Structure 1
Amino acid sequence: MIMKHAAPISPVEIDEASGTVLLRTTHSAYVLRVDRAAGTVRHVHWGAPLPLADAVALPVWTEHDNSFAGRWDGVEEYPVDGGARFGVPALDVRFTDGSSPLEPTVSDVTLRAHDHLVVRMRDRTRPLAWHLHYRVPADGDVLERWAEFHHTGTDDGEILLLRYASAHWPLPQRPAWRIGSVHGGWSSEGRLERPVLPVGETAIGSRRGHTGHHANPWAALDAGDAGEEHGEVWVVALAASGSWRLTVQRTAAGRTGVVAGEGHEGIELRLAPGGKHRTPVSLALHTGHGFGDASRGFHHHLRAHVLPHPEEPRPVLYNSWEATSFEVSEDNQLALARRAADLGAELFVLDDGWFRGRDDDRAGLGDWTPHPERFPRGLRPLADEVHRLGMAFGLWVEPEMVNADSDLFRHHPDWVLHLPDRTATELRNQLVLDFSRQEVTEWALSRLREVVVENAVDFLKWDFNRSFTEAGVHAAGPDARRVHVEHARGLYRVLDRLRADFPQLRIEACAGGGGRVDPGILARTDQVWTSDNTDAVDRLTIQHGFSQLYPAGVMSAWVTDSPNPLTGRVVPLRFRFHSAMAGVLGIGGDLTRWSDTALAEAAELIRVYKDIRPVVQHGRQYRLLTPGEGPLAAVQYVGEDGDRAVVLIWRPSTAFGPALPPLRLRGLDDGARYRDEETGRTWSGATLAGHGLPLPDLPPGDCASTLVRLRRVAAPGREE
């Protein structure tokens, strides 16, 4: 008998007769319908998988027929300002005559590739076209969308883009909605909330010129009945590293959708005749298996389709900042490097204070040559010794910033963001260089090339320590504030070219902690500094919020001194390590003051981390117990091949109460057996999931923690 293999199902299917398009991910379907007669593209379905025949037969939702209703509101894939549309537009423009309404029509629908759909639209009479792009990346559930705008005229004057979103994501009808997102501030990032979504417009975003500590460009929506591992969840994100906004609209008529785009109100872009603009990518997914599955879907997508080197293990780093601050010298850095190497660190990072004029934070930014008094021989002898010790050499830089007290500012005062008749505001004693200007980014690229080559740099910690103010351009004009989005594009160009020039260079993105974390920056960096707050207890909450969208393999986490330099909290070394071992482990304390006992314990914990690193950095993450919702917090990782699992358990404070129940694990094979590598006891996957892992004894007192390593020891269906 000859077996016939079914042809793979195309990720994009089109029914020409009805204009229906079906986009398939691994576990979901997204359906739209091109209505050429009405000149629009209407949304049909986003949720569980369905066949094309059913997609063709599905009706399109319509509003009540009355003169006060917006017949298109919530129905269109990409709503514009014009006609009977009263909802949030994805596209809003102003033409040279001052008019703004658009009258859309569909030009054509094409498959650019088997997984890439393009719907070309234009205004019926005006010289503006906009192309809607849909892409279905392989082996996952994330969809990608973006838009391109084209001024199709020749002598019609400029067109002003007032709102230019990447996508509008319509949601199905549900009786109620919750919106999940993170908020916070400097050193308090990632605070997760899921309030009820009210009728009206709910906006989250950043007006700061960077992604921001106070919010992050994603939102998770559910009907109020989803949990960590059950229920339908829809997540929308944006790959934007400048200013951005997500606007979630819920209408009284029962429609809900998310408009995702860069910029904010007042950030206008001008299209000259023949000009075009492409938006950042918006990413979204649907799952029927809760917030945890949604997170794992995004983790997989970022590793498979976004990160430059997802397969590489992120090294255990040592950073000198908290040990020496600005008081760096060749001698004290060499002493720290030798201790770090003895512990097992793989990367040594020299932080702020290494360059000319940098005795404190009031001077030196922009003058990227070694401090002549602190490093009279330059940085190369230090780099060479770090390499001899078996570690990579890293360097802190902040290329987008300048101090007024610097040679760079004295030579180029016009390079900073400013408006000619406004006083420039200094924050942290520094100003922002205008990376929307080619001469500025060319200078930055040239200087960084020299720094990397002259100092044998393997790793850059790229910082960004203030938000935008007076954010105009030198040649101020009607769209002078475009730097809120164009600055990030200049940053991308520098990073892309730098990485092309130095393929072995690795980069950590930092912005006073987690102030620039998004899928756009992750496409050009290898990890991100999660927060300037290294308090191991606070970090549990910060890391919980971070994990909603981003994988542990990009989450830089340090072990620092106790009492904590920021909070003053006293935390045992073991708890500090276990907190940081939930991501990319780093050490940031003053090793010259650690006792021999502490150094020995740290070396052993680093050895354990290297053993579990493949599971933590590349495995599937399961959030078992949420920080702050009970006496314990716990997270689990399962290796890519399913053979290993790691469980981290923390008890931040001691409280009297009943004995704690077993910890029910996730993601294991029910029919396999797993051995606890510390105790030697074995359990079936079914027992660990159903009954739970009996909790190991925790040390007495506050800030107790433990780590459990499990290894599969018998194949499915067989006893040990």
Structure 2
Amino acid sequence: MGITFDTQTKTFHLTAKNTSYIMKVLGEGYLVHQYWGKKIKQYNHANKVRFLDRGFSANPAPATDRTFSLDTLPQEYPGYGNTDFRSPAYQIQLENGSTVTDLRYVSHNIIKGKPKLEGLPATYVVSDDEADTLELILEDQLIGLKVILSYTTFQNYDVITRSVRLENGGDQDLKLLKVASMNVDFQDSEYDLITLYGAHVRERHIERTRLRNGVQSIESRRGTSSHQQNPFMALVRKDTNEDYGDAYGFNFVYSGNFLASVEVDQIFTSRVTVGINPFDFSWLLQPGQTFQAPEVVMVYSSNGLGDMSRTFHKLYRERLCRGEFKEKERPILINNWEATYFDFNEEKIKDLAKKGKDLGMELFVLDDGWFGKRDDDRTSLGDWFVDKNKLPNGLDALASDITETNMEFGLWFEPEMISEKSELFKKHPDWCIHVPNRKLSEGRNQLILDFSRKGVCDEIVAMMTEILSNSPITYVKWDMNRHMTEAGSAALPPERQREVAHRFMLGVYQVMEELTMKFPHILFESCSGGGGRFDPGMLYYMPQTWTSDNTDAISRLKIQYGTSLVYPISSMGSHVSDVPNHQVQRITSLDIRGHVAMSGNLGYELDLTKLSEEEQEIVKEQVNFYKEIRPVIQFGDFYRISSPFEGNETAWTFVSEGKNKAVFAHFKVLDEANMPFITVKLKGLDPNKKYTVVELGESYYGEELMNVGINIPYRQGDFQSVMWRLYAE
């Protein structure tokens, strides 16, 4: 069905897989939201907009009807200043200083497929038959402003994406003060709000709160999407859980400053708005110029949070991630960071790589410290040439020696950063983000390169190309270890200084586009102090992200569980590290560390040469086990069973597409005396198939495992786990 327009009622009906989204043009060109939810075959306006004279809700000119006010109208892209007193989706300042605009519907286009967004990451289609796109053209005729609202409906996913493009067709400069990418006015407020909050080494914890009157919002003002708040929110009905109830998910395909808000108004309707954070933002839009806002992915589920998550997962794996690695099994790696930090030499690296190879690992990653004079974190960022003191034979010789053993070689970069103690800074001190005459703040003893400048971006591309072209590198870990302060650029005039943060992000995207296209054989992994930039914008260029700098297995239960609310398992880097853990000093067994790490893209981050023979055997068994289950883990459907945010247990299941294979994992955190027995009901299986639980040597039908449950072995002690394979007979 796609997208239809009823010319008599001026109603647009958008349909995705099992979803309908309906809006209409009302009166003198006002675009009104009518419905978003389960697919309906025929819409006959059973919930048509009603009007009432409400005190202090003003009436737009010509004010001939006291019952008509934008203040109570459910709108698609509301402004401010002509009777709607709620939060606007956009705000524009004219040359006369005023900020009043009046957008009205002019026309529309229905397009097969999905056009690209210029300079920005976004979901895509492989064939035009997969999706339909509606472009709604709104115009403020007084000033010549055109706003194009884009809606794409996907045939195979319960997904609608939205974005906004502004065109200045007038003869005066416009200053954009706020440009949200979407707005939805729900007709009630009986929802809970779910968000993902956190901090460095404690990312994406789940918070669920009841909607209240006024505005609730999450945002980043840090120059990145941030550890502190992820650019995701969901509205769910109060009885919605993992398996039941309505859920509306919103995810911003952007890696910089964002604002996502929900406003409950005087008559208990709810306005959801998502876009670039207007804080410290403006954009000078001159006559003839265009501004493209990023995309928002909107997912509706009538079957709870689990179904919402699996929709996000499948869409992102198949129609957001790109390149040869999006559906390719990810290698099991050994990273030297927590094994050596900056203190290593060529022989130490070779020893680690050899031991990793002996234990069955497939990729060695050389982390921070290989370049310039990088013996600590106070120097050399920007000097992307090999430190011959550590690697006297050069990077190519080291990489070649390792790859000749049939082990792949990967390398760490932090391209967006610069150290004051660096050759690059001496040569170009104005290339950092800064404000004239202001002292420079530092984070991790470093500054940020001004990626809003093309010359800076070109130089970084050239330096990285030199390294990546001359060594057999198949993996890059792309790090970003500080947030933005003194946001200014030497290359921009005063009236454009508040464009720096967005222009920086556009520059980052352009550099990533060039490098990932130039080196399609390289698997790029995004990192920002771990999970500080875990967002769909990054996944467009890099199909996986280092989930958190916190490698503790128990901490990771919450981090990975929360991350799974929106991001696919194939996007989560997850490593086994040493104990006591370097972040929280907790001591856990290799078993539970392995089971948690195997619930993502498995890697190791410890000194393998110091493992006992017994520990080496355990690691070898884990690696072999993971190679067997890897396709199900990375590309199967993920079902959350027990939440670490709600109790002492965590459980989840991975199920292959045909439901012939599954992997079940259960984790107990703390032990207590005389604990009860634990039985867990699995999810996602075929009720009519009989599954052998390999580790138990017993078989059960899916309906029994899901409805009756299966016993978890009674084990004493803290931090206990099991991971079982289920194969259909």
Structure 2 counterpart of 1:555, one-letter code? M
How far off its partner does 1:73 sit? 4.3
Cα pair 1:61 1:75 within 8 Å, conserved = no
Q: CA deviation at 1:570?
A: 0.6
1:53/1:545 CA distance change after superposition, 3 Å = closer
Report how far residue 315 of structure 1 moved.
Answer: 1.1
Shift of 1:541: 0.6
What CA distance in whole angstroms lies between the structure 1 residues aligned with 2:211 and 2:192? 5
Q: Distance in 2 between matches of 1:304 and 1:650?
A: 30
- Residue 658 of structure 1 deviates from its aligned partner by 4.7
Question: Does structure 1 residue 19 correspond to structure 2 residue 10?
Answer: yes
Q: Structure 1: which amino acid aligns with 2:708? A: H
**Post-superposition shift, 1:46?**
0.6
1:42 maps to amino acid: V
Aligned counterpart, 1:157: 172
In structure 1, the residue matched to 2:31 is 41
Q: Return the match for 2:365 from 331, 349, 353.
A: 349
Of stretches 441-450 and 651-660 in structure 1, the one that deviates more from structure 2 is 651-660
Task: Give the one of 408, 413, 429 matched to 1:392.
Answer: 408
Deviations 1:535-559 (A, max 9, x none): 1101001111101000111100110
Corresponding residue of 2:117: none
The alpha-carbon deviation at position 347 of structure 1 amounts to 1.2
Specify which of 435, 439, 443 is matched with residue 419 of structure 1: 435
Match of 1:380 in 2: 396
Aligned equivalent of 1:314: 330
Query: 647, 652, 657: which is aligned to 1:635?
Result: 652
Q: Which residue does 1:113 correspond to in 2?
A: 112
Distance 1:233 1:699 in 2: 37
1:90 partner amino acid: A
Q: Is contact 2:57–2:72 with CA below 8 Å preserved after alignment?
A: no
Match of 2:426 among 410, 416, 429: 410
Q: CA deviation at 1:698?
A: 5.1
Structure 1 counterpart of 2:609:
592
Q: Is the Cα contact below 8 Å between 1:698 and 1:706 reproduced in 2?
A: no
Shift of 1:472: 1.0
Amino acid at match of 2:6: D
Is 1:333 equivalent to 2:338 in the alignment?
Answer: no
Deviations 1:647-689 (A, max 9, x none): 1111111123552342111111111111111222110111111
CA distance in 1 between partners of 2:388 and 2:679 (Å): 59
Give the superposition deviation at 1:252.
2.4
- Structure 1's 348 and 149: CA in aligned 2 closer, same or farther, altered over 3 A? same
Decide which moves more: 408-417 or 386-395. Answer: 386-395
Q: Measured at CA, do residues 646 and 464 of structure 1 come closer, stay the same or move farther in structure 2, by a change above 3 Å?
A: same
Structure 2 distance, partners of 1:84, 1:93, is: 16
2:525 counterpart residue number: 508
Please list the CA deviations of residues 565-585 of structure 1 after superposition, one character each: whole Å capped at 9, or x if unmatched. Answer: 111111000110001111111
SS in 1 for 2:705: helix
Partner of 2:56: 67
Classify the secondary structure of the residue corresponding to 1:216. strand
Shift of 1:68: 2.9
1:123 is matched with: 140
Partner of 2:579: 562
- Say which SS state the counterpart of residue 95 (structure 2) adopts: coil
Equivalent in the alignment of 1:179 = 193
- Gaps of at least 5 residues in structure 1 are 1-9, 714-720
How far 1:60 sits from its partner (Å)? Answer: 2.4
Cα contact 2:32–2:73 (8 A) shared by 1: no
Instruction: Tell me the equivalent position of 2:227.
Output: 213
Size of the alignment, in residue pairs?
A: 698
| Preserved CA contact (<8 Å) 2:642 2:650 | yes
Query: Partner of 2:181 in structure 1?
Result: 166
Give the match's secondary structure for 2:711: coil
Distance 1:63 1:236, change over 3 A: farther
CA contact (8 A) 2:457 2:507 kept: yes
Q: Which residue of 1 aligns with 2:554?
A: 537
Please list the CA deviations of residues 587-611 of structure 1 after superposition, one character each: whole Å capped at 9, or x if unmatched.
0011111111101110101111111
**In 1, distance between residues paired with 2:107 and 2:466?**
49
Q: Is the 8 A contact 2:360 2:624 kept in 1?
A: yes
Alignment of 1:237-248 (within 5 A): 237-248=251-262
Contact 1:74-1:87 at 8 Å conserved across structures: no
Q: How does 1:514-553 map to 2 (within 5 A)?
A: 514-553=531-570
Q: How many angstroms apart in 2 are the aligned matches of 1:501 and 1:630?
A: 47
- On the 8 A contact 2:31/2:104 being kept in 1, the answer is no
For the Cα contact (< 8 Å) 2:692–2:726, is it kept in 1? yes
1:619 to 2:636 alignment:
yes
Structure 1 residue 72: Cα displacement: 4.1
Tell me which residue corresponds to 1:93. 92
For 1:85, the aligned partner's letter is: D
1:287-322 CA-partner distances (Å, limit 9, x unpaired): 111111111111111112101142111111110011
Q: Does structure 2 conserve the Cα–Cα contact (< 8 Å) formed by 1:197 and 1:250?
A: yes
The residue identity in structure 2 corresponding to 1:145 is: R
Q: Distance in 1 between matches of 2:243 and 2:251?
A: 20
Match of 2:454 among 392, 413, 438: 438
- Distance (Å, rounded) in 2 between the aligned partners of 1:28 and 1:142: 8
The CA distance in 1 between the partners of 2:590 and 2:708, in whole Å, is 31
**Cα offset, 1:74, TM superposition:** 5.7
Contact 2:17 2:154 in 1 (8 A): no
Provide the secondary structure at the position in 2 that maps to 1:248: strand
In structure 1, how many angstroms separate the alpha carbons of the residues matched to 2:493 and 2:407? 47
| 2:249–2:298 CA contact under 8 A, matched in 1 | yes
Amino acid in the other structure paired with 2:22: V
Amino acid at match of 2:42: L
| Stretches of structure 2 lacking an aligned partner (at least 5 in a row) | 59-68, 114-131
Match of 1:644 in 2: 661
The correspondence for 2:621, drawn from 599, 604, 624, is: 604
| Equivalent pair of 1:73/1:87 in contact (CA under 8 Å) | no
Q: Which residue of 1 aligns with 2:284?
A: 270
Deviation, structure 1 residue 488:
1.3
Q: Per the alignment, do residues 334 and 100 of structure 1 end up closer, same or farther by CA in structure 2, a change over 3 Å counting?
A: same
Q: Which residue of the partner structure matches residue 66 of structure 2?
A: none
In 2, the alpha carbon distance for the partners of 1:660 and 1:18 equals 61
Distance in 2, Cα, partners of 1:342 & 1:188: 33
Matched, 1:665 2:665: no
TM-score, normalised on structure 1?
0.95
User: Residue 58 of structure 1: CA displacement?
Assistant: 4.0
Aligned-partner SS, 1:662: strand
Question: Offset at 1:422?
Answer: 1.1
Going from structure 1 to structure 2, the CA distance change for 1:639 and 1:74 (only over 3 Å counts) comes to farther
Partner residue of 1:50 out of 36, 40, 53: 40
Tell me the residue number matched to 2:125: none
Tell me by how many angstroms 1:66 deviates. 3.3
1:206-256 residue CA offsets vs partner (Å, 9 max, x unmatched): 000001000100111112111111111111111110111101111120211
Offset, 1:704 = 1.0
Question: Counterparts of 2:629 and 2:28 in 1: how far apart (Å)?
Answer: 57
Retained in 1: the 8 A contact 2:22–2:36? yes
Residue 467 of structure 2 corresponds to residue 451 of structure 1: yes
Worse overlay, 629-638 or 424-433: 629-638
Q: Distance in 2 between matches of 1:432 and 1:281?
A: 26
Structure 2: which amino acid aligns with 1:108? S
Quick check: 1:258 aligned with 2:257? no
Question: What amino acid maps onto 2:30 in structure 1?
Answer: T
Task: State the shift of 1:83 in Å.
Answer: 1.1
In 2: Cα distance, 1:172 partner to 1:228 partner: 24
Contact 1:72–1:85, Cα closer than 8 Å, also in 2 = yes
The amino acid that maps onto 1:177 is Y
Partner of 2:103: 104
